[in-house]
Amino acid sequence: MTGKIIKGIAGFYYVYVEQHGLYECKAKGIFRNQKVKPLVGDNVSIDVLDEEGNKGNITAILPRNNALIRPAVANVDQAVVIFAAADPAPNLNLLDRFLVLMLKQRVETIICFNKRDIVTEDDILLLEAIYKKCGYHVIFTSTYTEEGLLKLKELLKDKTSVVAGPSGVGKSSIVNHIQPEADMETGEISDKIKRGKHTTRHSEIIYIQKGTYICDTPGFSSLYVNDMEKEELKNYFMEFRDYEDACRFQGCVHINEPGCAVKNAVKSGKISEIRYENYSVLYEELKNIKKY
């Protein structure tokens, strides 16, 4: 049988097999043949050891489409990053860090601003203007009025999506809304490994419906962009691409160079000032990292 590792705890892997349920598995022997460690999100072959107890043994890891390092999860199609439109006010520096980290790992991100119910149309337009301009898919949701939640479900369909965001933005509320009420098939073990509310400490995959999974990740309060050269950073600000060919110097990093078309685009309002400022902050950080 083949299934997907949805959670790993203390040497056990919980493998979900659609239509069958959840199997508590060990990964005996596969380390010797395949020098890779199983990751949450891996599609695996399992031998069922005892049907009643739903125990099994992972015999092989199927080829991965990708494997993210942060969060450590395999076969990710996209990320959904959730911030609150207000309460707490969105930390756009943190958001831009997340976007950079995902782009570096070649994962597309959908930006979801939750708590739509407590902001005005003008607030929305402001946020939309910043991120739509650089090519991101932006949606607004409210778990109170349920606005946008159907749209979100549509975007998740038939994909495995990493769902991430800082604490307090309503991520658990959203996850509770989009996951099925009760999964009869997985009852017993599900209960055993069920997380209480607010306690996502490790990344874990939640089955939504056939072919659709989300990977719920722990809330974060800071993110470090440090595993790249400072000159590489500009590649992850997609909106710079339309302008940088016109920079006077080849290899312009858009910081202090004269004749910089990116800086001119910021001045004329074509590139968001906030985005550019976040770029500069991250660039400075990368510049100051000690190289050993």
Q: Which residues are annotated as a binding site for Zn(2+)?
A: 247, 252, 254, 260
Q: Which of residues 104-143 bind ligand GDP (CB under 6 A)?
A: 114-115, 117-118, 142-143
Residues 3, 109: Cα–Cα separation, whole Å: 25
Q: Which of residues 232-261 bind Zn ion (CB under 5 A)?
A: 247, 252, 254, 260
Nearer to Zn ion, 63 or 251 (CB): 251
Kindly give the interhelix angle for 149-156 and 171-178, rounded to the nearest 10 degrees: 70
Percentages (nearest 5) of helix, strand, coil residues in the chain: 35, 25, 40
Nearest approach, Cβ of 143 to ligand GDP (angstroms)?
4
Is residue 167 part of the contact set for ligand GDP (CB under 6 A)? yes
Is residue 150 part of the contact set for ligand GDP (CB under 6 A)? no
Element (H, E) at 225: none
Q: Using CB atoms, what's the residue nearest to ligand GDP? A: 170
CA angle 196, 156, 105 (to 5 degrees): 90
Nearest approach, Cβ of 102 to ligand GDP (angstroms)?
18
Smallest CA-to-CA distance from 135 within 242, 40, 222 is with: 242
Binder of residue 170, out of ligand GDP, Zn ion, none (CB less than 5 to 8 A by kind): ligand GDP
Residues 242, 8: Cα–Cα separation, whole Å: 43
Q: With left for phi above 0 and alpha for psi between -120 and 50, is residue 277 left, alpha or beta? A: alpha
Nearer to ligand GDP, 198 or 248 (CB): 198
Which of 3, 8, 38, 170 is in the footprint of ligand GDP by CB under 6 A? 170
Q: Residue 189 corresponds to which tokens in the numbers above?
A: 């073990």
Feature table: binding site: 114-117, 165-173, 247, 252, 254, 260
The site for Zn ion, by CB under 5 A, has a size of: 5
Nearest approach, Cβ of 237 to ligand GDP (angstroms)?
26
Q: Where in 115-242 does DSSP place strands (E)? A: 137-140, 160-164, 204-209, 212-216
Residues in the site for ligand GDP, rule: CB under 6 A?
Answer: 114-115, 117-118, 142-144, 165, 167-173, 198, 219
Residues in the site for Zn ion, rule: CB under 5 A?
Answer: 247, 252, 254, 260, 262
